[in-house]
Amino acid sequence: MLPVQPIRRLSLRQAFSLIEVMIAIMLGMLLIYAAMAGFRVASQSITSANRMALENSLLRAGFHEALNEVDLWTAYDDPESTVAADQYLRRAQMPFAQLPTTQRIMASSPATTEAYVYSESEMDIGWDHAYPWPASSSRTWWRANAAEWHNSRGRSGNYTLFSGIGGSPHPWLASQMDMLQTNLGYYGFCDYLPPSMLYAYIGPDPRQAGRIDLLRDFVSPSNFRNGDGGTEFAQGRYRCTKDTSYLLVPLKPVGGAGLITTGNVRRIWRTGVGATADPNANDSVTSFMKHGLSSRNQLDQKPSHWPEVKVQVARFLSHNRFVTLSKIGFTNSITGQPLELSFTSIGTTLRGARQQRKPGAPGTGAGWAKWWGPNETDNDRHLDYNPQ
């Protein structure tokens, strides 16, 4: 008979009591819950932080793009694009149209003399991009009668003898003004002329059956003159834009591409006192912005959960101020909350933007013009200098 093995009693150290198990499970669950809750909060924080970081990144990118647009004007002309619509404003009578140019008229050599004598003539025609319009030069002086209107009775004399196109000895300034307003529209007219100018000139007036007189459109209420105070005489840039504006229509205006017309860059907009509240009326700020504000989405191929980002620009002249209005906005795709930042700034002018671009017909993708120095032979031609 085998010896009976003594029953080995389990030690209390080798098993759990029910209470112990329950406490252990409870503590374990608490631990797991705390860990899960912590993880969840941390995870949500990270998601939220990532989302806000994404929004910040997009805002930064939008701001960067807006600053670039201030200097590069690609909302008005994209010189590298081979799509004709991206250079639509190069058509005749639009702000990026080719101007007739003259030969460079700077006669002296800057390396050997400081004279810089400009061999200028009243008979010069076309635009000379290197001519600085010295205030001392008599051909830059406005010589009409500042108190006259069109159809003058000439009580102070016949000023068409002193100044203007058509027989006077001083036709240069009037022909420059005529060329600029005809080719570039009113914003360009004001951008190119010195700020001291009175914006009217004498010439054959199509609205007065070709009579040589102060052009009626520039002294009497018209698409150019606002008629402020019922006045009808030549006025400076402040009076011409007091409570009114001239604008540039971008390639993609908010109101649609149908607004890009030669007429819309040759009309006055009532944007101050007298502007109407009806958004559909022509004389309303809403209508003004429909024509003038660009509507370019920045991220056409973005993931659907990313915010919608827009960088918009409007360029106009009001109260003698050239305004570049930049707007950066995005809409949160989850909450739908919109955010907009707008600012104005000083950057490349229209003339500068035209000098940035190589000449070329719409769709040719002519590209950017390089400028290396004032007398460098490898400077590119540009929209204001393209002698044939």
Site for another protein in 145-174 (CB under 8 A): 145-149, 151-153, 155-156
237 binds another protein (CB under 8 A): yes
7 binds another protein (CB under 8 A): no
By rule CB under 8 A, what string of x and - marks binding of each residue 171-200 to another protein?
Answer: -----------------------xxxxx--
Q: Is the dihedral of CA 221, 226, 230, 234 positive or negative?
A: negative
Interface residues for another protein in 42-61 (CB under 8 A)?
Answer: 42-43, 45-46, 49-50, 53, 56-57, 60
**Closest of 385, 378, 375 to residue 112, by C-alpha:** 375
- Cβ contact 380:388 at 8 Å: no
67 binds another protein (CB under 8 A): yes
Q: Which is nearer to another protein, 161 or 259 (CB)?
A: 161
Q: Which stretch binds another protein (CB under 8 A): 172-180, 233-241, 256-264, 333-341?
A: 233-241
279 binds another protein (CB under 8 A): no
Q: For residue 101, which phi and psi values (nearest 5 degrees)?
A: -120, 155
Q: If you count them, how many residues does the chain have? A: 388
What gap in Å lies between CA 258 and CA 252, rounded to an integer?
9
By rule CB under 8 A, what string of x and - marks binding of each residue 10-29 to another protein?
Answer: ---xxx--------------
6 binds another protein (CB under 8 A): no
Return the SS3 of 185. Answer: helix
- Cβ contact 324:346 at 8 Å: yes
- Cβ contact 333:359 at 8 Å: no
By rule CB under 8 A, what string of x and - marks binding of each residue 294-333 to another protein?
Answer: --------------------------x-------------
As beta bridge partners, residue 308 has 331
**Closest of 75, 100, 98 to residue 85, by C-alpha:** 75
134 binds another protein (CB under 8 A): yes
Query: From the CA atom positions of the chain, what is the Rg in Å?
Result: 34
222 binds another protein (CB under 8 A): no
User: CB 163 → another protein: shortest distance, Å?
Assistant: 17
Q: Which is nearer to another protein, 152 or 181 (CB)?
A: 152
Tokens encoding 148: 């006259």
Burial degree of 203 (CB within 10 A; 0-12, 13-18, 19+): buried
Interface residue with another protein among 2, 111, 209, 277 (CB under 8 A) is 111
- Cβ contact 382:367 at 8 Å: no
What gap in Å lies between CA 379 and CA 382, rounded to an integer?
9
Tokens encoding 361: 């017909």
35 binds another protein (CB under 8 A): yes
Number of residues in contact with another protein, rule: CB under 8 A?
A: 86
Q: Which stretch binds another protein (CB under 8 A): 1-9, 67-75, 91-99, 258-266?
A: 67-75
> Taking every pair of C-alpha atoms in the chain, what is the biggest distance, in angstroms?
154
User: CB 281 → another protein: shortest distance, Å?
Assistant: 25
Q: Which is nearer to another protein, 50 or 282 (CB)?
A: 50
- Cβ contact 93:183 at 8 Å: yes
336 binds another protein (CB under 8 A): no
Q: Which stretch binds another protein (CB under 8 A): 262-270, 288-296, 310-318, 353-361?
A: 353-361
